[in-house]
Amino acid sequence: MTDTSIDTSPFDLSGTTVLVTGARRGLGRAIAVEFARAGADVAIGLRETADDAGLASEIEALGRRALPVRMDVTDLDAARAAIDRTVEEFGPLHTLVNNAGGGIVAPAIDVTEEDFDRVWALNTKSTYFLSQHAARHMRNAGGGAIVNIASQAGLVALPGESSYCIAKAAVVHLTRCQAVEWGEYGIRVNALAPTFIETDGTQAALSDPAFRADTVERIAALHRIGAPREVSGAAVFLASSAASLITGQTLAIDGGWTAR
């Protein structure tokens, strides 16, 4: 999305619509709220629409519209229908944030085919085909932005997380491929690659003092765990006109982990 106006902030997303997958908690929730703060109306992708943990109310309290949509991203037909409903309710879809994801912890020698397929479907297959469906809407509307939540695991090897690393590495490269093909439609595709962020999803691992100390040491420059808003702000940037010449890129939000 390109805004040539000089009268508004390039980070102002007023009048736009975003759909965030996996929005109930953690990074997805932070991203949904951040887009509302920036002025966007937000469709919130949830496994069950009644279980939004107050997120719709939080977005509406910021003066924006919220639309809970049922969206298990591994059920592609249902997820595509959620994209269609967003467009029907809110009008053109300006931004898709592919946030839903997850992995397993297992040595590479023990990962089963079922494990691998499940991680691939959740992280990579869903990102590919939901981006495709959103891009068809965006092409018809004259453009848009797709922000994929990859991971530093897609840039470096993390022992015990091989299937997740491979899935996120594929997200990094599909970001490049789709950006190159869809630029002619005015669609930009970028990714974020966060390090460990303080969320309810990482709480169990980071509560282990030894694991936390090792993680802080590996975050080689800043030596601290990240906060959700350090990712959500970057997602808004990539969707905004401030990033209008940026596409096909993966921004590492890793405190220097991958620089070492």
Q: How far apart are CA 35 and CA 249, in angstroms?
A: 20
Q: What dihedral angle (degrees, nearest 10) is formed by the CA atoms of 161, 166, 172, 175?
A: -130
CB atoms within 10 A of CB 83: 22
Could you confirm whether 164 is annotated as catalytic? yes
Q: Which two tokens stand for residue 201?
A: 């999803």
115: tokens are 């494990």
Active-site residue, from 68, 79, 82, 164 = 164
Name the phi and psi angles at 2, rounded to 5.
Answer: -115, 125
The rounded distance, in Å, linking the Cα atoms of 55 and 41 is 13
Looking at residue 260, the DSSP 8-state letter turns out to be -
Q: Number of helices (H) and strands (E) in the chain: give both, helices first.
A: 9, 7
Q: H/E element holding 20? A: strand 17-20
Question: Could you tell me the two tokens for 44?
Answer: 């919130």
Q: What are phi and psi of 101, to 5 degrees?
A: 180, -175
| 196 touches 202 (CB < 8 A) | yes
> Smallest Cα–Cα separation from 115: which of 162, 157, 76, 72?
162
Catalytic residues: 164
